[in-house]
Amino acid sequence: MSGVRSILCVCLGNICRSPLAEGILRREAANRGLDLTIDSAGTGGWHVGELPDPRARTEGAARGCDMSMCARQVQPDDFERFDLILAMDQSNVRELLRVPGARPEKIRMMRSFDPTARWSDEVPDPYYGDESHFTEVAEMIERAVEGLLDSIEEK
Ligand code: 4NP
């Protein structure tokens, strides 16, 4: 991952998992002094323009993250603008592959960087869960972000 300079985090609605991933990635990249372009988007458009879900904002703020981003939908030119596109689950991967001009080689599962996960593990959708699901999701993302940034920093 040493050539990666721009990362897009993707989930379904862009109001729960991918904004948390964006916030945690931004915080950790800043802590490590890494100059990375970081953004997030959803494969669906239902929540475009909205702030993250209040439960995601609470969880992210408690972890020292800026959670003031607005939801947007994945666009075809995201595959040109970003070196790495991180999907939270397998259905996100399937939807990303349907985007015109999709570059499959840029797509990876977020948890493929979590050392405690098997390669196939997902960041599950917490939308219909409670606050404890958001905490679990954030913990998975924290581990994956550490693993990802370690691999980007490897010479
Ligand atoms: P996210 O969660 O993909 O982690 O942002 C969801 C948010 C909204 C919906 C589904 C999942 N929804 O159906 O509106």
Q: Is the confidence at residue 2, as pLDDT, over 90?
A: no
Q: Who contacts 94 (Cβ-Cβ below 8 Å, separation ≥6)?
A: none
Classified as helix, coil or strand, 144 is helix
Ligand 1 contact via 123 beta carbon (within 6 Å): no
Q: How far is the CA of 63 from the centre of ligand 1 (A)?
A: 21
Q: How far is the CA of 39 from the centre of ligand 1 (A)?
A: 17
Beta strands in 1-106 (DSSP E): 6-11, 37-42, 84-87
In tens, the pLDDT along 96-105 reads 999 999 999 9
Q: Which pLDDT belongs to residue 155?
A: 58
- In contact, 74 and 42? CB cutoff 8 Å: yes
Q: Is the confidence at residue 30, as pLDDT, over 70?
A: yes
Mean pLDDT of 128-144: 98
Mean pLDDT of 2-17: 97
**77 is annotated as an active-site residue:** no
Instruction: Write down the catalytic residue from 9, 11, 16, 65.
Output: 11
